[in-house]
């Protein structure tokens, strides 16, 4: 299973928005640059995030996209599922009757355990934490200069 580019772009957008001050509005073109995503493609991503209630869209001259304070603590799972829908590693995990082998298949338990682990990792990773990490990574390193060496 591989997530689409849309999910990756959605997470990038959310991290960028969470790194801004509360109430800040950002244009689609700024989000496109921040997420390194083509603007036309980003439109669909933003529609999904808005439809899921994770992002607020404002129209007009002072419009743009905004992340409510409540959704800064959204998980990566929330964001990915807003774009992709429910994550399933295998068809046998979509419902109780998706596969006739479910009741006796030795691999079913492995798929279920792997999916549970993946969902837990994505659930534990919050957008606000990732935004903090991004801000730390962008800060320039302070280099100590040995002044005796340069005099």
Domain count, the chain: 1
Each residue's pLDDT expressed in tens, for the chain with a length of 151 residues: 667 899 999 999 999 999 999 999 999 999 999 999 999 999 999 999 999 999 999 998 888 999 988 899 999 999 999 999 998 888 777 777 777 777 788 888 888 899 999 999 999 999 999 999 998 887 665 666 666 555 5
- Exposed e or buried b per residue across 90-102, where buried means at least 16 C-beta atoms within 10 angstroms of its C-beta: bebbeeeeebeee
The CATH code of the domain that includes 29 is 1.10.10.10
In a domain, 97, yes or no: no
Domain carrying residue 22:
5-85+126-141
Q: Which residues contact 112 (CB under 8 A, 6 or more apart)?
A: 93
- The pLDDT value recorded for residue 102 is 72
In a domain, 32, yes or no: yes
First-to-last alpha carbon distance for the chain, in angstroms, is 59
Residues 120 and 38: their CA atoms lie apart, in Å, by 30
In a domain, 110, yes or no: no
In a domain, 21, yes or no: yes
**CB of 23 within 8 A of CB of 66?**
yes
Q: Outline where 85-146 has alpha helix (H).
A: 106-124, 127-138
In a domain, 45, yes or no: yes
- The pLDDT value recorded for residue 61 is 85
In a domain, 151, yes or no: no
Query: pTM score, two decimals?
Result: 0.83
In a domain, 112, yes or no: no
- The pLDDT value recorded for residue 94 is 77
**CB of 75 within 8 A of CB of 14?**
no
- The pLDDT value recorded for residue 149 is 55
Residues 92 and 90: their CA atoms lie apart, in Å, by 5
Angle at 118 between CA 5 and CA 77, to 5 degrees: 55
In a domain, 90, yes or no: no
Q: Which residues contact 128 (CB under 8 A, 6 or more apart)?
A: 18, 72, 73
């Amino acid at each position: 299973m591989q997530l689409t580019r849309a999910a990756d772009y959605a997470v990038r957008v959310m991290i960028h928005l969470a790194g801004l001050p509360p109430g800040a509005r950002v244009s689609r073109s700024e989000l496109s640059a921040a997420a390194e995503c083509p603007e036309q493609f980003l439109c669909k991503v933003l529609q999904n995030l808005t439809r899921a209630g994770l992002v607020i869209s404002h129209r007009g001259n002072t419009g743009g996209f905004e992340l409510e304070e409540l959704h800064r603590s959204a998980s990566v799972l929330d964001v990915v599922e807003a774009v992709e829908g429910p994550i399933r590693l295998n068809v046998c995990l979509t419902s109780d009757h998706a596969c006739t082998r479910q009741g006796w298949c030795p691999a079913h338990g492995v798929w279920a355990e792997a999916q549970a682990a993946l969902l837990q990792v994505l659930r534990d990773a919050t957008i606000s934490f990732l935004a903090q990490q991004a801000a730390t990574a962008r800060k320039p390193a302070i280099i100590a200069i040995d002044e005796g060496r340069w005099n």
